[in-house]
Amino acid sequence: MEKLRVGILGLRRGITHLHNFLAVQNAEVIGACDWYQRNRDRAAEVMAGADCKAPILEQLDDLLDLEPDAIMLACNGRQQAQCAIQAMEAGCHVLSEVPGAFTELECVQIRDAVQRTGMTYMLGENANFWYFFRHWRRWVMRNEFGSVSLAEGEYLHYLPAMMKAPDSTTYTPTQVKAEGRKDCVPVWRADQPPIQYLTHDLGPLLEILDDRVVSVTCMSAPWRCPETPLRSDGQFALFQTAKGTLIRILVTLSTRRPSEHRYRLFGVEGACEFSSYEGYTRFFGRQHEEVDGWQRVDIGLGSAGSDTSGGHGGADIQVAWHFADTVLNGRQSPIDVYRMIEYTLPGILAARSADLGGHPIQIPDLRPEPYTGTIFWDAVGIPDDEPEMRPYKE
């Protein structure tokens, strides 16, 4: 097999994955599907521009009839588990958008399907592939910060358009009311607890720290945003890892502000921070003899000279390439079904903790054997060079 024959399910978010699988050299798009004509029309334009004549269909069953090697799932998050299992049962490898599963039972069902079918499963957590994390992992491996006792991740993304019309166009509740529409229904994320959408934050931190979380306590903010009345304005979760580190995660999808990801590591000898709004890392390592200020390190989402046009600073196209490479070469998935569970299940149980007023909840280990260490960096690699640093304030 020279190229992985891929089918794309879901052509809203999946339009980016369609672009990327059309672009990477180790894959071939053999079909795509979506319920909505509007989304199919957009995909037809993309495929025509790439001189791809693959069919665009309405149903997953029709896509599976084409006998693809793999399915990229970018569908409704409440249907990802069902579609992943169906695809694997049909003999397809699966690359799934986040969160991957919506309930604890679905995590178990996907795991069991992977074990039963032997198909490759990969969670498409694109944030893991941001370039600055590779240097963070290198610094942790070099003990640049000493023991890392605390870490933080934040996902700040205002998403008020939580109502969907029959053609898949989305509106805010205010727009629905102003236009007098009677044909709109809430989208799948309208009542999803914000903390369940934490894989962009927790996933990279777990790989950097080479760890997994074992317990969580979580609290919810009030429901005050008028555009998102079905979900909390945001949630804070505090996780304890197997190695004893505390990880705080904030997710808010209902506070009006510029979108941003933030990450922080707190070691006993140093620290580092990143905000996607600023686009660079702040660094303070153990080589600093005095606490004389941050160093600015101009490493961001993509490496110097890399293609950052494939969505999310170039991370999405890396997801496509690494998935195809994993399957074609029989390698272990860099974000396999067990790691998907370790990214996703903590958010599900954090929401449960919040429902219980912050009651601590233990997070079960659903692996057949105990976790022995990260394999993610074996796939993406660690930089050999030390990036240039300069004073944060000059």
| pLDDT (0 to 100) of residue 55 | 98
C-alpha to C-alpha distances, 1 to 4, 26, 28, 318, nearest whole angstrom: 7, 10, 11, 20
Which residues neighbour 377 within 8 Å (Cβ) at sequence distance 6 or greater?
A: 134, 137, 207
pTM, entire model: 0.97
CATH annotation of 4-119: 3.40.50.720
| pLDDT (0 to 100) of residue 161 | 97
| pLDDT (0 to 100) of residue 131 | 96
DSSP 294: P
Nearest C-alpha neighbor of 122 from the set 94, 100, 92: 94
Q: Per-10-residue mean pLDDT for the chain, 394 residues long? A: 94 97 97 97 98 98 98 97 98 98 98 98 98 97 96 98 96 97 96 98 98 98 96 98 98 97 97 95 83 87 75 93 98 98 98 98 97 97 93 80
Residue boundaries of the structural domains of the chain? 4-119, 129-306+337-391
Nearest C-alpha neighbor of 46 from the set 20, 66, 72, 9: 20
Q: How far apart are CA 196 and CA 102, in angstroms?
A: 8
DSSP notation for 213-228: EEEEEEEE-----TT-
Q: How far apart are CA 241 and CA 218, in angstroms?
A: 15
Classified by CATH at the fold level, domain 129-306+337-391 comes out as Dihydrodipicolinate Reductase; domain 2 (3.30.360)
Q: How far apart are CA 224 and CA 233, in angstroms?
A: 6
Secondary structure E strands in 170-323: 170-171, 185-186, 213-220, 235-241, 246-252, 260-267, 271-275, 280-284, 295-297
| pLDDT (0 to 100) of residue 286 | 84
Q: How far apart are CA 302 and CA 105, in angstroms?
A: 36
For tokens 């079909």, what's the residue? 31
CA–CA–CA angle 90, 15, 200 (5° rounding): 85
- Contact yes or no for 107/101 (Cβ under 8 A): yes
Which residues neighbour 201 within 8 Å (Cβ) at sequence distance 6 or greater?
A: 127, 153, 154, 155, 249, 251, 261, 263
| pLDDT (0 to 100) of residue 4 | 98
| pLDDT (0 to 100) of residue 291 | 62
Q: CA dihedral defined by 177, 178, 184, 190, rounded to 10 degrees?
A: -60
C-alpha to C-alpha distances, 110 to 34, 95, 346, 350, 372, nearest whole angstrom: 22, 12, 16, 20, 21
Secondary structure E strands in the chain: 4-9, 27-33, 56-57, 70-73, 93-96, 121-123, 148-156, 163-164, 170-171, 185-186, 213-220, 235-241, 246-252, 260-267, 271-275, 280-284, 295-297, 361-362, 389-391
